[in-house]
Amino acid sequence: MKLTSINFIYKIAAVLSFIILISLLVYLTYNTFVLNDQQYQTTEKLLIKESYYNAIRNDKLYPGGQRIFDENINTKLNLLDSLQLNDEEALQQTAEKILHDIQRDLRKHNTMDSVFHQIIRNFQLGDDWEYALNVNRIRVFLTDDRKVDIYTPAPITKGDQSTTFGMNGFRIGGTLKKLRPHNAISEINVSSAEDYSYQVSFALFADRKNRTLALLQLVAPVFLLGIFAMVTIIIIYLATYRNWIRQKRLADMKSDFVNSITHEFNTPIATIQVANKTLKSQQLVKENKGMEALTDVIQRQSARLQRLFAQVLDITSMSGYALKKENTSLSQILHDIVADYQIKSNDSAIDISFQSTLQQDAVATMNPFFFTTMVSNLLENAIKYNKKSDKKVKVELMEQHYTWRIRISDNGEGIHDKEIKLIFQKFYRSMEKSGSGLGLGLYYVRQCVQAHGWSIDVESVIGLGSTFIIDIPKNS
């Protein structure tokens, strides 16, 4: 897939993720706002409600409201009874006149201002509280279950929240403009079962003047924290994306470089080797022992250069995504590697053996070429740095719970503890050990192990030898 296509996909994914995060933040902030709105000033409203009940005990609306209703209704009960039986039009006009007088007197003699302010002062609730006092219904009961509605709320409209808690009644006092279920303190209905009595329903609302601003201040920390988290995520994403683009370009450049120099280096090396073989076959060289020795040097060093170059290319090209893996029998490939190395060494002082304790064949997903080179490097190190006259190397394959374990042991000089942490570093070579090389052998081993997702460990005893342990997960 081209880099431009990958960039486009990443940008689309980033935009979609950003939209989802914004939507989630708005949703969470809104729900937090609604929850706070429902629970806002709950304690204060309970205090106001209790004090209001105590203030109007045996009264209506506010202290003195009972007298106003009695004066305007009780004196006209007989008239209402007669008009309902004889003249509906006059009854309607009389009811409207009674309602007008009640509204006028209630508003004129309203004592709720002082009552409410006293409640606010007693509990030190602050100076930014407002109230609204509404009358929701006035109904007169006559005889024989007959009744006259002096005042009835407007018809209920579907979806109209103003029908809750009598918010559609007429106002007696207070400056609170917006009446909502959340700022309702109480709704009271006072009635009697006796004939020639009346029913009054009224409601009290109270709230702070800047309720919305106060709620926004409550949810602001959550919202700002969400914004901060989103900005942080965006910054991290942009930094990661830029770094990924840079690494992708470097990886492409590295791949192009490796592909380019593979031909450029192999061609002159092969040419040198061919020319050297041709030169070596000449009669003049065969007769000149000094020149023949020089051709041998050329052959050895060109072969060494070719091996070192191949190793560097393997390390450069090896990566987890580039490895071509296949199911491989561990027993078979280890047996073949050991057998090939025995033929290659052709030295009676070198004893290389392979032993498997498995009852069944162990199969692992790997790149056989890299695995073979890795084990060969370990075998070569075990021989190269062993100064004993009889060199012994043992390769073992065993089962360990969830892994296949490979142990490669030698009877060499061992590795100091302080060096065990360094031997896998690139170009590291022990100063106490002689030998040719670039210090890439064990680095190659570690790269191969990491590229396959395996693990490697080292056990060593000075004077007795070292053991390299490779654990391969069974499901790998």
Give 162's pLDDT tier (boundaries 50, 70, 90): very low
226 and 355 belong to one structural domain:
no
Higher-confidence residue: 327 or 165?
A: 327
Residues 329 and 439 placed together within one structural domain of the fold: yes
Using CA atoms, how far apart are residues 165 and 181, in angstroms rounded to an integer? 7
The answer to which of 131-135, 162-166, 352-356, 410-414 has the lowest mean pLDDT is: 162-166
Looking at the structure, tell me whether residues 274 and 323 fall in a common domain: no
151 and 200 share a domain?
yes
Mean of all residue pLDDT scores within the chain:
83
Please indicate, yes or no, whether residues 184 and 230 belong to a single structural domain of this protein. no
- For residue range 14-29, list pLDDT tens digits in order: 888 888 888 888 888 8
Per-residue pLDDT band for 198 (boundaries 50, 70, 90) equals very high
Residues 327, 404 within the same domain: yes
Paired strand residues for 468: 408, 458
Model confidence band, residue 457 (pLDDT cutoffs 50, 70, 90)? very high
Q: What is the pLDDT of residues 40-75, one digit of tens each?
A: 778 888 999 999 999 998 899 999 999 999 999 998
Q: Which of 288, 315, 342 is the last residue of a domain?
A: 315
Lowest mean pLDDT among 131-140, 183-192, 277-286: 277-286
CATH code at position 455? 3.30.565.10
Residues 380-399 have a mean pLDDT of 89
Tell me what percent of the residues of the chain surpass a pLDDT of 90. 33
**Which class for 185: exposed (0-12), middle (13-18), buried (19 or more C-beta within 10 A)?**
buried
Residues 6+ apart with CB under 8 A from 183: 45, 176, 205, 206, 207, 211
Query: Would you say residue 469 has pLDDT above 70?
Result: yes
Residue 381 domain flag:
yes
pLDDT at 112: 94
Last residue of a domain, one of 209, 229, 248: 209
Q: What is the pLDDT of residue 254?
A: 67
pLDDT grade for 470, boundaries at 50, 70 and 90: very high
Q: Across residues 413-430, what is the average pLDDT?
A: 82
> Would 22 be classed as within a structural domain?
no
State mean pLDDT over 108-116. Answer: 93
Report the alpha-carbon distance of residue 385 to residue 431 in Å, rounded. 12
Q: Is the per-residue pLDDT at 275 higher than 70?
A: yes
Q: Are residues 132 and 250 in the same domain?
A: no
Residues 368 and 466 in one domain: yes
Contacts for 376 with CB less than 8 Å, ≥ 6 apart: 337, 341
Residue 284 has pLDDT above 80, yes or no: no
Same domain, yes or no: 224 and 306: yes
Q: Widest CA span of the chain, in angstroms?
A: 154
Helix 289-317, helix 368-384: angle, nearest 10: 130
User: pLDDT tens digits for 301-356?
Assistant: 777 677 666 666 666 656 544 577 899 999 999 999 898 888 777 777 888 999 99
The pTM score is 0.48
258 and 205 in a single domain? The answer is: no
pLDDT confidence of residue 223: 85
Share of the chain above pLDDT 70, in %: 86
Structure tokens at 27: 């949703």
The answer on 351 and 465 residing in a single domain is: yes
**Residue that terminates a domain, selected from 315, 331, 364:** 315
Number of domains in the chain: 3
Q: Range of 112's domain?
A: 58-209
Torsion of CA 325, 329, 330, 332, to 10 degrees: -130
